[in-house]
Amino acid sequence: MRTRKSALVVTMCAGLAVTLTACGGEGGKDPDAGTNGVGKLPAAKIESKARTVAASASAVRLSGNLVTKGRTYTLDMRLKEGGGTGQVSTKGSTFELLRVGKDLYLKADAGFWAHQGGKSGQAGSGDAAHKLDDKYVKVPSGDPSYRRLTGFTDKKVLLDGLLGLHGEITAGDRGELSGVRTIRVLGGEGGEGGSLDVSLEGRPYPLRLQRAGRAGVIRLADWNKDFKLTAPDKDHVLDYGRQIPAGP
């Protein structure tokens, strides 16, 4: 009789396991089914893998807000080895950047140049500003602005500087970004050291970064998606002739 009852319990558990939590077991759907498997790894290993695949990628698109030295930048940049292109905004000013190899170009409207010239005492007149309106200006490599602006167009510099989390790294919730399943890793207690959403599909690329100290949120997309990167026509390039105003 006891044997018959045991057999009956086993049969009931087997039948219910399809739709309910199994009797005495975990049951349910495997959260890692159909994923790349990184969700099973320790949190620190997930972050390490995400940084590794990001560093090896040939191209990426970064967009969002970045706070550095008390200043907020809104950027939308496409980057790859050898250069980058896109738009940056800060304090009401917007400008475009294009870097091809070591050559860096800046393009903005007359209002931008008039504003920057007014602060620096250079090119602030209407005539000078209009000459630069929507023209590419080649930034001299020796100009103080060159190094700062180049940083926005350098894939390695940006990724190395952005992707690090601070404090003890722990695993957070699973979620979804633009239809892609993700897992979040957190830095510090409660994510105070930043957070990183890592793809659970394909290669474990980082897809969203919340910087430590609420210093901005960056989306990362178009991994390995190539794009053309060519210098502007000479007819669209003006020689500034002196230092670029220090405003950008």
Distances in Å between the Cα of 150 and the Cα atoms of 135, 155, 158, 194 are 18, 10, 10, 25
Both 148 and 79 in a single domain?
yes
- Could you tell me how many helices (H) and strands (E) the chain has, helices first? 6, 12
136 and 234 share a domain?
yes
In a domain, 184, yes or no: yes
If asked whether residues 101 and 148 sit together in one domain, one would say: yes
Residues 120, 175, single domain; the answer is no
- Give the side-chain half-sphere CA count within 13 A for 190: 3
Residues 214 and 136 in one domain: no
- Give a yes or no: residue 2 inside a domain: no
**8 A C-beta contact, residue 74 and residue 67:** no
Residue 233 in any domain: the answer is yes
How many domains are there within the chain?
A: 2
In a domain, 232, yes or no: yes
Same-domain check for residues 82 and 53: no
- Statement to judge: residues 70 and 117 lie in one domain: yes
Cβ contacts of 24 within 8 Å, gap of 6 or more: 13
pLDDT (tens, 9 = 90+) of the chain, 248 residues, equals 545 555 544 444 444 444 334 444 445 688 889 999 999 999 999 999 999 999 999 999 999 999 988 889 999 999 999 999 999 998 888 999 999 999 999 998 766 776 665 444 444 445 556 667 678 999 998 888 898 899 999 999 999 999 989 999 999 999 999 999 999 999 998 889 999 999 999 999 999 999 998 899 999 999 999 999 999 988 888 766 554 554 45
Q: Is residue 19 part of a domain?
A: no
Do 231 and 207 fall within a single domain?
no
- State the pLDDT at residue 243: 45
178 burial level (CB within 10 Å; 0-12, 13-18, 19+): exposed
User: Which domain, by its residues, includes 148?
Assistant: 65-159+227-238
**Position 18 in a domain:** no
Q: What pLDDT was estimated at residue 12?
A: 44
pLDDT tens-digit readout, 194-225: 999 999 999 999 999 999 988 999 999 999 99
Q: Is residue 29 part of a domain?
A: no
Distances (CA, A) of 80 to 7, 83, 155, 204, 225: 63, 6, 6, 19, 9
Quick one: pLDDT at residue 128?
58
Predicted pLDDT of residue 222 = 97
129 and 72 fall within a common domain:
yes
Residues 150 and 216 in one domain: no
Q: What angle do CA 186, 174, 13 make, to 5 degrees?
A: 130
Quick one: 69 and 136 in the same domain?
yes
Does residue 106 fall inside a structural domain?
Answer: yes
Region of residue 145 (left: phi > 0; alpha: psi -120 to 50; beta: else): alpha
